[in-house]
Amino acid sequence: MTVQEVRLCGLLLQQHFGNVVEKVGTHLIRSGVLTLRALAYETKLPLDLVKKSLCVLVQHGMCTFGAGRRGPAGPVEYRINCESIIHMLRYPRYIYTAKSLYGDTGELIVEEILQRGQMTMSSTVRTVADRLTNNMPEGQSMDYSEVVSAFSRLVETHFLQRCPPLASAGSSSSTLDTPLPAATQPTEPESHPDCYKLPYINLTGQGKRRRSSEGGEADQRAAKKARTDNSECGDDGIHWQVNFQRFHLHFRDQAIISAVSCKLDQSSSEIVRTMLRMSEVTTPAHAAFTQALSSNEIFRALQSSYNIARPNLDQYLSLLVDDPMEFVGKTGDSGGGMYVVNLHRALANLARATLESVVQERFGSRSARIFRLLLRKRHLEQKQVEDFAMIPAKEAKDMLYTLLSENLVQLQEIPKTPDYAPSRTFYLYTVNQLPTARLLLQHCYKTVCNLIERRLYETKENKRLLEKSQRIEAILASLQATEAEAAQLTEVEEMITVPERQQLESLRHHINKLDSSENQVDESIFLLESYIKSTQASR
């Protein structure tokens, strides 16, 4: 765990779960694996607080536990999963994707499960139905069956999955058939055969609207009676969690499609979209390319709204294959031509484009030209760089040294003689894509940390003003509820002076900008992380 990752995890934990969980979490990240007692002793927090924090972390899937070094008889050891903490940065994107695919119901389901970590199907359905009912106009209510159908669609497309079962509960079991998995190997959720099987629950009814106090006795009694049959739905112990990997595959596909549409045109991106959709369920998660699809199959699967005729399809496919970005490759000639989408190569190209744009925006277009040259030609001497890039010697030297000092470019020495005499050694400049991508990823983490800290600082500076405005809003809301006159309302509104109002406005603008930047940096983080993971998977 790098310094920046630990810092980012700490800030995210503090934002969502408070200082106590942050302290426990960062200490556990730094120490690796610890038992409960050791953790309580080292953080000097009361044991109960440590227990509560660990419960929160386990509930959200950020902490795993297992038998320790002393085997099943010894104390349980805990370790933190840093990746899932950093995923918290991406929660708005997951929720927005669910909304665009499955509408408001899907959005609320994913939001509830993300906020609570794990939930059973019945409690999710109830909560979401109640929330939807509250937003609907008076008299209407959301039926449970609609929510259940949205839930099942999410499970069928693998966006939600069952939480992996534990081999045995905790450390207190004495006779075990299967040994408790060691803390180093958590059970993969996909290894469970029923991972995506929906339980049969008999849950009928409609969402309850949260009524105000004058609502009525009958409603409260009905609410109480409904809750007494909480555990009768038949799905106790089956908890569902969000399948982050599936969302990541979806984001990766989206990135590839938008890259194709930028580079070529809309129709070719539709063809690539069709190809990716056809191989969604058949392609394993870390595959380098999709299943081979024949041109006939693609033609049949194309939606008629795209209006692509058969010969045009073949032309588009050959264009895609010939494109230097190599998104699509041809693997055979049967069935009109067998085509695959090169996933890993596409990711590498997208990462390369990110690196190039970073250099361009920071150092100018001529430095970017040098950078691209070095990426393409691998190793070049200083003289060759100046010639190929067509940049005067002095400026080229300057730019090269700037890039070198930022570690974006490396120097490789090739000696002619055993003593590394400078006059008799070749000095070659080179760019390695993978280490540079890792460097930029750490820069991205540092950027997000800085953005969060700046936002906290801005909020702290203007705390008094923010509290005042919240109080005034509350007064206004209560006055409006009791239908006060306009004169009273304006009087209350004038309690905030004009310069204070301006200050509030600029504060809001800054905080929105900082939040928006976090979301945008997260997109780069996703691309670079996927690229790095894909190179590791192919090793």
Question: Interaction with another protein in 408-467: which residues (CB under 8 A)?
Answer: 419, 421-423
Give the residue with the Cβ less far from another protein, 386 or 529: 386
Residue 143 binding another protein, by CB under 8 A: no
Q: Which is nearer to another protein, 152 or 516 (CB)?
A: 516
Out of 54, 154, 160, 328, the only residue in the binding site for another protein (CB under 8 A) is 54
Query: Taking a C-beta distance cutoff of 8 angstroms, is the pair 267, 308 a contact?
Result: yes
Give the residue with the Cβ less far from another protein, 261 or 294: 261
Residue 465 C-beta: closest distance to another protein, Å: 15
- Of 117, 122, 220, nearest to 163 by C-alpha is 117
Task: Among 163, 271, 275, 343, indicate the residue that binds another protein (CB under 8 A).
Answer: 163
Chain residues 351-380 in contact with another protein, contact rule CB under 8 A: 361-364
Contact region for another protein (CB under 8 A) — 46-54, 288-296, 326-334, 439-447? 46-54
Locate the DSSP E strands across 266-386.
293-294, 328-332, 338-341, 379-381
Q: Alpha-carbon distance 120 to 240, whole Å?
A: 6
* 88 touches 22 (CB < 8 A): no
Please, which of residues 200-229 interact with another protein by CB under 8 A? 210, 213, 217, 220-221, 223-224, 227-228
Residues whose CB is less than 8 angstroms from the CB of residue 129 and which lie 6 or more positions away in sequence, other chains included? 141, 142, 143, 144, 147, 205, 206, 207, 208
CB atoms under 10 Å from CB of 480, counted, come to 11
Q: Rounded CA gap, 88 and 46, in Å? A: 27
**Residue ranges in 235-274 that form contacts with another protein under rule CB under 8 A:** 237, 239
- Among residues 36 and 82, whose Cβ is nearest to another protein? 36
Shortest Cβ 363–another protein spacing (Å): 8
Beta bridge partners of 329: 340
Restricting to residues 169-188, which ones interact with another protein according to CB under 8 A?
Answer: 169-172
Residues 300-319 that bind another protein (CB under 8 A): none
Q: Is 313 helix (H, G, I), strand (E, B) or coil?
A: helix
- Encoded tokens for 506: 């600029």
Selected binder of another protein within 1, 32, 41, 96 (CB under 8 A) = 96
Looking at the Cβ atoms of 90 and 317, the one nearer to another protein is 90
Q: How many CB atoms lie within 10 A of CB 200?
A: 8
Q: Is 133 in the site for another protein (CB under 8 A)?
A: no
Buried-state track 215-249, b at ≥16 Cβ within 10 A, e below 16: eeeeeeeeeeeeeeeeeebebeebbbbbbbebbbb
Stretch that binds another protein, among 110-118, 142-150, 181-189, 270-278 (CB under 8 A): 110-118
Interaction mask 377-406, another protein, x per CB under 8 A: -----x-----------x--xx--x-----
**Given the rule CB under 8 A, which of 264-272, 314-322, 328-336, 472-480 is the region that contacts another protein?**
472-480
Which residues are paired to 239 by β-bridges? Answer: 120
Distances (CA, A) of 293 to 121, 341, 385: 37, 9, 43
Residues 25-44 that bind another protein (CB under 8 A): 36
Phi, psi angle pair for 206, to nearest 5°: -135, 165
**Member of 31, 33, 42, 51 binding another protein (CB under 8 A):** 51
Q: Which of 435, 431, 430, 409 is nearest to 535 (CA)?
A: 435
Residue number, 218 or 498, with CB nearest to another protein? 218
# residues contacting another protein (CB under 8 A): 80
